[in-house]
Structure 1
Amino acid sequence: MSLQSKRVANLSAPRDIDPSEFRNVLGHLPTGVVVLATTASGRPVGMAANSITSVSLDPPLIAVCAAHTSSTWPLLRSEQRFCVSVLAAHHEPISRQFSRSGTDRFGGISWHHRETGPALDDAIAWLDCELVAEHDAGDHTIAVARVLDLASAQDGRALVFFRGQYGRFVPTDLDQSRRESA
């Protein structure tokens, strides 16, 4: 599979943008929270991420962004395959655990093995992925991965990150009315 990068604009900004202001403004966009995990040197390794998105339906591709300072991303990259566990609303402590360095991130966590690596038992969805491309982008790496297999739970709500806080998705009354009339 061949992915190409094209420069479509000059990367110069119209003004100096403070990184904390940038983070604050983009924090107004809610994101899901996931754990990326693989087995490296016979042990499970993983990291939390909220910068993940669908890229393509055919072929099925996702993108995830990892900071250049991440000590876990190189381990995931070296294995070329990883499992994405979509965290449930009650997984805030797990997200925080997988965000800390220098700890046993899988300590006390219930998980099972999928073809591409460890999957959290009570996540609401799982994606088995294979890395197909990486692109340097500022202080992060954009990794594109092909989805090899996937599964989801029958119910549950996703953990959401919004304006620096965790929460959960709650449908609007309009959404509820549509479901009830269907």
Structure 2
Amino acid sequence: MKHVPTSVAIVTTTVGGRPVGLTVGSFASVSLDPALVTFFVDHQSTTWPLMANSDTFAINILGHGQGECCRSFSSKGADRFAGVDWTASDDGDPVLAEASVVLECSKHSTRPLGDHLQVVGQVQKLHVLREELPLVFHQGSFLNLDHLVSA
């Protein structure tokens, strides 16, 4: 599957008043009416069990220059929010200042699929923080989209 480019997002919530987040490379739109989105979490994730009982979460879509932010939320054992500028949504979920688009979601459903868990969220609010090309992961690295021009 490394030959299939994927968008990169950071899913965030708060647990016990503390921010928690993880990187997902499997974010997609499911439905426009109602507005549903999905992402997949590896069954071996050590972060998802902390987040699993949250009723809400924010999906922070990263722009093409945010590879370091993506890496920091993928690292094990580190304080993923160290040095990260964020504000709380109305539900208290972290909205990353580095995100280009943020979707505030309520949890719609979860179900196991193969070696992952599918999480479906219902979009409650969408915020476009800046217009920019997305961060895209392909064959083990981030694509350089600096040469692309929007139509």
TM-score normalized by structure 1?
0.77
The answer as to 2:53 corresponding to 1:89 is no
Contact 1:158 1:168 in 2 (8 A): no
Change (3 A) 1:59 1:169: farther
Query: Corresponding residue for 2:107?
Result: 131
Moved more, 40-49 or 154-163: 154-163
Query: Corresponding residue for 1:51?
Result: 26
The structure whose RCO (Cα within 8 Å, separation 6+) is larger is 2
Contact 1:127 1:150 in 2 (8 A): yes
Residue 126 of structure 1 deviates from its aligned partner by 0.2
Which one has a larger percent strand, Structure 1 or Structure 2?
2
Of 24, 39, 45, the match for 1:70? 45
- 1:58 & 1:47 partners in 2: Cα distance? 27
Contact 1:157 1:168 in 2 (8 A): no
Contact 1:115 1:128 in 2 (8 A): no
User: What root-mean-square deviation, in Å, do the aligned CA atoms of Structure 1 and Structure 2 show?
Assistant: 1.6
Contact 2:135 2:143 in 1 (8 A): yes
Contact 2:87 2:95 in 1 (8 A): yes
Q: What amino acid does structure 2 have at the position aligned with 1:40?
A: V
Contact 1:126 1:150 in 2 (8 A): yes
- 1:168 & 1:88 partners in 2: Cα distance? 11
Query: Corresponding residue for 2:87?
Result: 112
Unaligned stretches of 5+ residues in structure 1 = 1-25
The answer as to 2:17 corresponding to 1:42 is yes
Of 110, 119, 128, the match for 1:143? 119
What does the per-residue CA deviation read over 1:113-159, in whole Å, with 9 as the maximum and x for residues that have no partner?
11240011121100001111111111110111101111113422211
Secondary structure of the corresponding residue to residue 65 of structure 2 = coil
* Aligned-residue identity in percent: 34
Secondary structure of the corresponding residue to residue 124 of structure 1 = strand
Which one has a larger percent helix, Structure 1 or Structure 2?
1
